[in-house]
Structure 1
Amino acid sequence: MTTFTTHTLDTAPADAKPILQAALKGYGFLPNLYAAMSEAPAILEGYTTLSGIFDKSNLSATERQIILMTNNRLNGCEYCMAAHTTLSQMAGVNEDTIEALRKGTPIADPKLEALRQLAIAMNEKRGWLSEAQIEAVLAAGYTRQNILEVILGTALKTMSNYTNHIAETDLDAAFVPNHWTDPTT
């Protein structure tokens, strides 16, 4: 089997080092996802840049985590489910919402559930949404802008989930308390 390197600041390619140093400063540790992505500095830069752009969307922290965690679950990314559970907790996302996202069950808030359903449809149908699916999320109070922002979050998770799958990224100690196992594997 092909193995991928989980780089350190010392072993990472030069173009990845400034991004890794910023991550170390921001998180207090170097996330293994970033260490794996640093093999290709362009994906690391793309992921961190896109993450920053997604944070500027018109969606709340809870809404962004709904999109990210829904994609993590659907893509079976154990690393990202644990990481985003931790990030959701830090952002003050309701524990019942986090638990629903981890289990793939409905969220009690109808508007947030409509967003979760949109994220599911976007992932599973690869963007080929029906008019009824679009109208349902608009009726729940979201906008066309928000629909496009779901695509942004889905793209972000494709980058990290797929990297974790091929690199078999080890879970960081900070995320171990929120370990998640994909029930479909």
Structure 2
Amino acid sequence: MKTLKPLTIEEANENSQVIFSAVKSKIGRVPNLYAAMGVSDKLLRGFLTFTETLKSGEFTSKEYEAIALATSQTNSCDYCLSAHTAIGKMNGFTEQDTLDIRDHSIEDTKLKAIGTLVSDLINLKGHPSDTTVDNFFDAGFNKAAFVELIAIVALTTISNNIYHNGGFEIDFPKAQNTEQLHLV
């Protein structure tokens, strides 16, 4: 059963309507994910504020998108893979880069360390291996980046779970190779 659906501006409460208007004026539309989150203006406002805060942190925009891609891949979220593939391309990734991040074949040492740490955090329930953590620090990241990565994984997992409980239309160009996510 899919519990969540995107709200129209008329269906949203007054606070969510204000947020929808701000999002629309900033990016030209309200993505379905945000429209579904809008059932709780507290969640939507907090999510957007936390996202902006973390995007001003330790990671470049490409590294941030690599974290979001690796998280969405590990959590099997078609919607977020599509969104972060599109955003990643706007930040300089090629289509192949996004696929390589998702399957851990990216050659860039920093991006590989990010992807491995994300995967370990999710698959090992918050307990990455010592080797994975050491590789992350050896790639040049600091402890602030480590905790911010944990936060970005948590934030992206929220959006993954909203989609999993909504199953609404993907309103971004569909990411390649998502059909493999559902073979398990």
- Using the size of structure 2 for normalisation, the TM-score is 0.91
Partner SS for 2:63: helix
On the 8 A contact 1:73/1:182 being kept in 2, the answer is: no
Partner of 1:20: 20
Q: In structure 2, what is the equivalent of residue 47 of structure 1?
A: 47
The total of aligned residue pairs comes to 182
Distance 1:141 1:41, change over 3 A: same
Supply the RMSD in Å over aligned alpha carbons: 1.7
Aligned to 1:61: 61
1:91-150: per-residue Cα shift (whole Å, max 9, x none)?
112443212134x13111122211211111112122212332221211121111111111
The 5 A counterparts of 1:110-125 are 110-125=109-124
Are the equivalent residues in 2 in contact too, given 1:81–1:180 (CA < 8 A)?
no
Unaligned runs of 5+ in 2: none
Output the CA distance in 2 between the equivalents of 1:32 and 1:13. Answer: 16
Structure-1-length-normalised TM-score: 0.90
The share of aligned pairs that are identical, in percent, is 28
Aligned AA (2:128) = L
Q: 1:112 to 1:179 in 2, by over 3 A?
A: closer
Identify the residue that residue 31 of structure 2 maps to in structure 1: 31
Residue 37 of structure 1: how far off its partner (Å): 0.6
* Unaligned residue ranges in structure 1 (runs of 5+): none
Instruction: Give, in angstroms, the shift of residue 177 of structure 1.
Output: 5.0
1:183 and 2:180 matched: yes
Match of 1:78 in 2: 78
- Aligned amino acid, residue 151 of structure 1: I
Equivalent residue letter for 2:154: A
Q: Which residue identity is paired with 1:34?
A: Y
Measured against aligned partners, the alpha-carbon deviations of 1:146-184 in whole angstroms (never above 9, x if no partner) come to 111111110111110000000112111xx1254652413
Q: Which amino acid aligns with 2:137?
A: L
C-alpha separation in 2, matches of 1:133 and 1:178: 27
Q: What SS class does the counterpart of residue 184 from structure 1 fall into?
A: helix
Which residue of structure 2 aligns with residue 127 of structure 1?
126
